[in-house]
Structure 1
Amino acid sequence: MYMDLYLTLAIILVGVFLFVKDYFSIDTTSILIMVLFIVAGVLNPEEGFSGFNHPATLTLGCIFVVSGGVFNSGILNGLSDHIIKLAKIHYVVALVVFCVITAVFSAFINDTAIVALMLPIALTVCRETNISPGRLLMPISFAALFGGTCTLIGTSTNILVSSYAKKYGLEEFGMFEFSLAALCLLVIGFLYIFFIAPFLLPKRKEEDNELTKKVEEYVIEIVMVEGSIDINKAIVNSKLVLDYNVNIMSIMREGVLNYDLGPKTIILKDDVLKVVLPPQMVHKLLDVKGYKIKGSKLINSSDNYNVYEVIIPFGSDLSEGSLRSMQFNRRYNMSVLAIRHRGEIIFDKLSSVKLMEGDMLLVLGEKEDLKNLEDKKLVVTLSEYQKKKIDLKKAIPAVLIGIGVVLAASLNLTTILISAMVGALLMVLTRILKPIEAYNAVEWKVIFMMAGVLSMGTALEKTGGDQLIASFIQDTLGQYNPHITLSLLYLITFISTNLISSKATAALLTPVVISLAAIMEVSERPFLVAVMFACSLTFMTPMSYPTNTMVYAPGNYKFNDFLRVGTPLNLIIWIAASFVIPYFFPF
């Protein structure tokens, strides 16, 4: 028995190390932890894989479909014109409008989807009003986090913790049971965002932010003249590619412009190549025989081809791979010209860069191919915002189904799992979503991550690790009253969430705080709410929550920007939560 306990704690420590070091994606690490528990014999296969049919996982999957139906109906796009019109009045008005609308919708719809919708709208406002994106995008992300805590379905963490409570024989949380407490923290947070954050947010100029303008400086045209070593060579074997790290966008040959290039495309004499190359290579090429350098500007793309700024959203299949490994050019018929990766703009050896969520790409291609990437949820377009047409035949029933799911659960007519399942089924039966669209609406990365991290809680419960940790906490904090214990647990939770996944933190701490409440002979309710709030309200780093990661590159933020703006907010909310939670959930 003790051996299983030691193995459990060792595997959890390995998992925490992998989460912090970010060697693998979060879902991969979560599944790896689950497999280690099974291989080590701590959990049998049925127990290990039980996370996939756990109520939290099933509920979350159905909620994705319901919110996807509402989102895809275009009903939210109907507000875009009004948002843009109001936001143009003044920066403060823009800040209030974007934060309030984001928070309201994030309470009922997947927060990453809401932020993905708001990003291009906010950037449109920034371009037309000369507001720096850095002064707007971080508050939008923070508003989404505050909104998500207001309802049971606002975040996957809320669903996970509530499902754990039921598993332990406790009462599930109601749809709006912790809304008043969450709204108190939201008001405090918004006061900070509206009156203090504007003085801390970066004021970098818009022209310093646009990836397109950065790349323009390094786009040239090269004419292949007599004597060039690259004539009659395939692109992949050319000196331009091998020695000068050139990215060839197009070839003009006998007056015909060709963008459909592959590694084996042959370069001929008198071809005019439009290329992006690393800045340090520009002067080197001037001294090489066989190449005639001409000036060029990227925006002068012709035909149906254009240049777009896009971002890799949370859950995209493009993350964790390289352009070469996924054969991006061939598969999606688009070329990547530059990458903004964790604050750094990369022109060199793009095909080998490991892409991550939140990376910005500058891509060249046709509008239809870009739409294909968007439809597959691989990218979100930032460089332009086009309002989607609202289909009222889908929008009205989609909204009614969404309201029905919320009401059925909040009025205790049925459980949130049943109401979400019925809602998801109705989205398909009423043809608001096609089956493939319903499948695509599910963020499978989150589902696999949830299933994986749930195994940690199961292993702790089975081996008695939760009681051991709870007893240790009680012995350590036993001299304090429950209010101080809750405050310290909140502090530990939000610090842990800034280091590892919020879901992993919730899965680890939920069984522990339930055992701790039993040992202390107090209600477990305030401790569970503290875990919910602390796991979601994380502002200190761009990696602490997917929405923070999404705004990192478009806002041209640096890591220290999040520390400077987010740390005071996290401390303020921690202190406020220490008083607000016990008030609404007495011990």
Structure 2
Amino acid sequence: MAMFIVAGVLNPEEGFSGFNHPATLTLGCIFVVSGGVFNSGILDGLSHRIIKLAKIHYLIALVVFCLITAMFSAFINDTAVVALMLPIALTVCRETNISPAKLLMPISFAALFGGTCTLIGTSTNILVSSYAEKYGLEEFGMFEFSGAAICLLVVGFAYMFIIGPFLLPKRKDEDNELTKKAEQYITELTVEEGCADINKPIIKSKLVIDFNVNILSIMREGSLRYDLGPETILLKDDVLKVVVPPQTLHRLLDIKGYKVRGSKRIKNPEVKSDNYNVYEVIIPFGSSLAEGSLKSLRFNRRYNMSVLAIRQRGEIILDKLSSVKLMEGDMLLVLGQKEEIKNLESKKLVVTLSEYQKKKTNFRKAIPAVLIGIGVVLAASLNLTSILISAMVGALLMVLTGTLKPIEAYNAVEWKVIFMMAGVLSMGTALEKTGGAKLIADFIQSTLGQYDPHITLSLLYLVTFISTNLISSKATAALLTPVVISLSSIMEISERPFLVAVMFACSLTFMTPMSYPTNTMVYAPGNYKFNDFLKFGTPLNLIIWLAASFIIPYFFPF
């Protein structure tokens, strides 16, 4: 966006118009409405029923989780739905000996299928519909493309239920691998008289500089301290609980000034008595922890907890944790108090995976939240008003009824998505203003014009979903929507099937863990490898491509 403005392609008003675009404003309001429904606990009320059914058999668990995820993802932010389903699914896996790898990827894919079923299911749908309205075309109705989407959902679910169990990786007993690996390198050291690190801050101690040790806690004069920072001073007779990198563990036995007290399990009575425990958490999409390091975030001091290990892109990291650049989808093993973990969850910084506790439904908030959500959907689907006005009124009512506090409404908005949306909208504006969209459309028409529109649509769908696996879905939608509108005008056919093809192809991406936020979320907890997504997701993407080539024109004739 900045480059378009600086280069003079767009003036500042045009460049920043994405922030005032109906798609951006609608999406922000939808985040608040879905956040009100989600925070009311209405979904948590179903958790014990889901767990009870899922324990019967793996296939029943697969069907139940996929159906529930798809149903809620049609109306609520799909990353929020997957964040709720992850700890429930992992609870079922631990209690039934089902490998998480057999369950989590289908849950992510089910969220993608569910999101395509309604106008508010994904931000991409809202973006494409708003673009259509901007070009003087009729915007899409709430359930206008639901028929085609449900047909693709049935095809996709048939693949996941019948073929999926054979293609998904079979990794048993690996869901606690991160914990087990870290436990091997937890030990206690006593600071003895003559130690060179006495009266030195942690950051300047030999333990940190020479041995890359991560100090978790200090037992000093009978008091256990976890609120450690880089400037915390080491004293004589301190008992340090530390995580030692594997390659330096044996060298600690010969270190002068420290006495190794022996290996300690991280889940021990001492920790529990102080209300400290070990939790597995994941960094979700949009978390402000992503792109920072533990050191730059001052994680230990700010959140009063320690990180024992990190699983990043399939690799378990135990060494130099403070300098590791955190990423969305990273799985962390943290030592801290339950209250601090809840605080991180409330700020949407992490999603807890290691335990699931059923929450009580707050009916005082749940009833108005559900009624407001239904009202937003009905008002838009019955054409009583536009989706923007409907969502705006719904967002306001969430606050006015006390369902959400103003700060909770603010936190419900995925600001990273809002800014991304505003930024990519400038690309579509630039393509339109410079004539680039028409130029590309002319090229496509001259190249594919001799083919039947069905073949043109099929090839466009193929190009779109390949592009989405390489760049963001919103960027792809913003680039291709003006192009397909120009193309349909040149070919003198309806633009509707092309627009729906862009919507579906941008959302239904299964080939890589980075192609969609929910895929990234399940990557570490499922202990997947990159090839697992290629092996399971590529055939599904090809099947959906072929199915969409016939289903979309059936529901949206040229």
> TM-score scaled by structure 1?
0.93
Q: Shift of the alpha carbon at 1:267?
A: 1.6
Partner of 1:54 in structure 2? 21
Provide the residue aligned with 2:83 in structure 1: 116
Q: Which residue of 2 aligns with 1:30?
A: none
Answer yes or no: is the 8 Å Cα contact 2:290–2:327 preserved in 1: yes
Aligned residue for 1:257? 224
Partner residue, 2:442:
471
Asked whether the equivalents of residues 207 and 213 of structure 1 are also in contact (C-alpha less than 8 Å), the reply is no
From 525, 529, 533, the equivalent of 1:558 is 529
Confirm or deny that 1:443 pairs with 2:414. yes
2:483 maps to 512
Map 1:286-435; keep pairs closer than 5 Å: 286-293=253-260, 294-300=262-268, 301-302=271-272, 303-435=274-406
Q: Deviations over 1:272-318 (max 9, x none)?
A: 11101211111121222222221211111231111111111111111
Query: Following TM superposition, where does structure 1 have runs of at least 4 consecutive aligned residues deviating by more than 4 angstroms?
Result: none
Q: Quick one: distance in 1 between partners of 2:147 and 2:311?
A: 40
For 2:359 and 2:10, locate their aligned partners in 1 and report how far apart those are by CA, in whole Å: 48
Supply the distance in 1 between the matched residues of 2:221 and 2:514 (Cα, whole angstroms): 49
Mean Cα deviation higher: 259-268 or 355-364 = 259-268
What per-residue deviation string (whole Å, max 9, x for no partner) do you get for residues 447-499 of structure 1?
A: 00000000000000000000000001111112211000000000000000000
Gaps of 5+ in 1: 1-33
Q: Is the 8 A contact 1:145 1:537 kept in 2?
A: yes
Q: Which moved more, 1:291-300 or 1:508-517?
A: 291-300
Q: Classify the secondary structure of the residue corresponding to 1:325.
A: helix
Q: How does 1:141-290 map to 2 (within 5 A)?
A: 141-207=108-174, 209-290=176-257
Measured after TM superposition, the shift of residue 208 of structure 1 is 5.6
CA 1:214–1:52: 2 relative to 1, 3 Å: same
* 1:32-181 to 2 correspondences below 5 Å: 34-181=1-148
1:543 and 1:83 map into 2 onto residues whose CA distance is 28
**CA distance in structure 1 between the aligned counterparts of 2:411 and 2:178, rounded to whole angstroms:** 29
Task: Compute the displacement of 1:565 (Å).
Answer: 0.2
Worse overlay, 233-242 or 45-54: 233-242
Counterparts of 1:501 and 1:334, CA distance in 2: 34
Matching residue within 543, 562, 574 for 2:545 = 574
2:237 aligned partner, one-letter code: D
Q: What amino acid is the match of 1:297?
A: R
Fraction of identical pairs, as percent: 84
Q: Distance in 2 between matches of 1:470 and 1:126?
A: 49
Equivalent residues of 1:133, 1:206 under 8 A apart: no
| Residue 483 (structure 1) aligned with residue 446 (structure 2) | no
> Structure 2 CA distance, aligned partners of 1:459 and 1:571?
32
Query: Which range is displaced more, 223-232 or 115-124?
Result: 223-232
Structure 2 letter corresponding to 1:214: K
Mapped contact 1:209–1:554 kept (Cα < 8 A): no
Distance 2:292 2:224 in 1: 30
CA distance in 2, matches of 1:455, 1:201: 40
Q: Distance in 2 between matches of 1:280 and 1:501?
A: 39
CA distance, structure 2, for counterparts of residue 412 and residue 140 of structure 1: 33
- Contact map agreement 1:209 1:556 (CA 8 A) in 2: no
SS in 2 for 1:431: coil
Of 324-333 and 427-436, more deviation after overlay is shown by 324-333
Distance in 1 between residues matched to 2:3 and 2:502, nearest whole Å: 26
> Take 1:263 and 1:403, find their aligned partners in 2: how far apart are those partners?
51
Mapped contact 2:41–2:360 kept (Cα < 8 A): yes
- Kept in 2, the 8 Å contact 1:514–1:524? The answer is yes
Deviations 1:535-577 (A, max 9, x none): 0000000000000000000000000000000000000000000
C-alpha separation in 2, matches of 1:378 and 1:63: 20
Distance 1:218 1:571 in 2: 45
Q: Give the letter aligned to residue 411 of structure 1.
A: L
Residue 425 of structure 2 corresponds to 454
How far apart in 2 are the matches of 1:90 and 1:227? 61
What is the CA deviation profile of residues 501-532 of structure 1, one whole-angstrom value per residue up to 9, with x for unaligned ones?
00000000000000000011110000000000
Determine the structure 2 residue equivalent to 1:5. Answer: none
2:123 maps to amino acid: S
Aligned length: 554
Judge which range, 553-562 or 292-301, deviates more: 292-301
Cα pair 1:541 1:566 within 8 Å, conserved: yes
Q: Give the deviation of 1:259 after TM superposition.
A: 1.4
With 71-80 and 244-253 compared, the bigger mean Cα shift is at: 244-253
